[in-house]
Structure 1
Amino acid sequence: MKALKIIGIVLLTLVVILGIAVVLQPSQAHIEKSIVIDAPAEAIFPEVSQFKNFTAWSPWSKMDPEVKQTFEGEPGTVGSKMNWDGPKTGQGSQVIEAIDENKSVKCSLTFGGYDGKFYSEFILAPEGNGTKVTWTYDGANDGFGAKAMWLVMGSMMKGQYEEGLMDLKKLVEAKPAVEPIPADSTVQTQ
């Protein structure tokens, strides 16, 4: 009987600690991860602004190879959309809301079974001889359930963002460098 009482107290303590951890989660979720890529923004921008290119380095494409994706609209423009449906990633969509060529791409995200909109943004800024790429996520954690989900999903997403940025870096840096054409060059014809 004494052992059951101790087990009960331990379980109750764990539930209380977990409840406190959930309540202390932020009401506004935010992730921000960055990496410096040894390439100009012009070489990186197509990879973050065109959804078909995004799937080549996205951590979720690797996590769920059976995902079915569809694309709508003109690639790399405001309003272009990617829908996904996969056994591990679930259903959702991503739409480009704002774009500033070679500087930033902001997308709204919807996830099947969750109300509200969430946002993701890529920000490209010169850093040394390369480009610093910052990938952000923002969304509301409304209510106990959303905060409980964030307790688990937040740390998992941070790791996925880091993995995706590392794969983006490998992809871009493996491509041959494109030499810019000097402004004063002339075309010679024979």
Structure 2
Amino acid sequence: MAKPEKKHEDTGAVAWVRNAILVAFLAVAAVVGFAYVLEPTASGEGKQVIKGTPEEIFAEFNDFRRYNIWSPWVAKDPSMRIEYAGPERGLDARMSWSSSIHGSGSQIIEKTEAPRLIQYRIDMGGGRKATSRVELTAQGPEET
């Protein structure tokens, strides 16, 4: 006659380990899932002293046609194609670019407070978006 098979019963320690592993797995899955749905963000800040009054510098940053005269992106790709739309300068002025080096994208001036603030909304393509602010403060009679 065959002996009845004994069923394995969890001891307290085995059940605790199993539950701990399950909780750890669910916690990692929740963190990864939460991180997946968040938009990536980054921030940075820089300061630069420029010769000129806030009014002179503001004019350069508030007009995309003048902005691109000194832009390092244009200098790196002189064949970059640039188009302008909207007002010539100031609020709602728009610029879009297409470059074999930098890709394509666009930016719009979304806020201006002459002569101290210009804020841009930038779309770099591929879902990458940014906001950039230029704040101008006089550092002396001819420096900003």
Give the TM-score taking structure 1 as reference length. Answer: 0.52
Q: Which residue of 2 aligns with 1:123?
A: 135
Structure with greater helix percent: 1
- Structure 1 residue 116, shift from structure 2 partner: 5.0
User: What value does the CA root-mean-square deviation take over the aligned residues?
Assistant: 1.4
- Structure 1 residue 76, shift from structure 2 partner: 1.9
Does the CA-based 8 Å contact 1:38-1:129 persist in structure 2?
Answer: no
- Larger mean Cα displacement after TM superposition, 31-40 or 49-58: 31-40
Indicate the SS of the match to 2:42: strand
- Structure 1 residue 69, shift from structure 2 partner: 0.3
> How many residue pairs were aligned?
105
Indicate the SS of the match to 1:127: coil
Structure with greater strand percent: 1
- Distance across 1 between alignment mates of 2:83 and 2:58: 21
Q: Which residue of 1 aligns with 2:98?
A: 85
Q: Which residue of 2 aligns with 1:30?
A: 43
Give the TM-score taking structure 2 as reference length. Answer: 0.68
Deviations along 1:59-98, whole A, 9 cap, x unmatched? 1001111110000011222111000001001000000110
- Distance across 1 between alignment mates of 2:85 and 2:143: 29
- Larger mean Cα displacement after TM superposition, 85-94 or 75-84: 75-84
Indicate the SS of the match to 2:95: strand
Instruction: Give the AA of the match of 2:88.
Output: P
- Structure 1 residue 103, shift from structure 2 partner: 0.5
Q: Which residue of 2 aligns with 1:98?
A: 111
Does the CA-based 8 Å contact 1:36-1:130 persist in structure 2?
Answer: no
- Distance across 2 between alignment mates of 1:39 and 1:111: 30
Quick one: percent identity of the two aligned structures?
29
Listed as ranges, the matches of 1:40-189 within 5 Å are 40-113=53-126, 115=127, 117-132=129-144
Which consecutive segments of 4 or more residues in structure 1 shift more than 3 A?
Answer: none
What 5-or-longer segments of structure 2 have no aligned partner?
1-39
Listed as ranges, the matches of 1:4-15 within 5 Å are none
Higher relative contact order, chain-length normalized (CA < 8 Å, sep 6+): 1
- Structure 1 residue 45, shift from structure 2 partner: 1.1
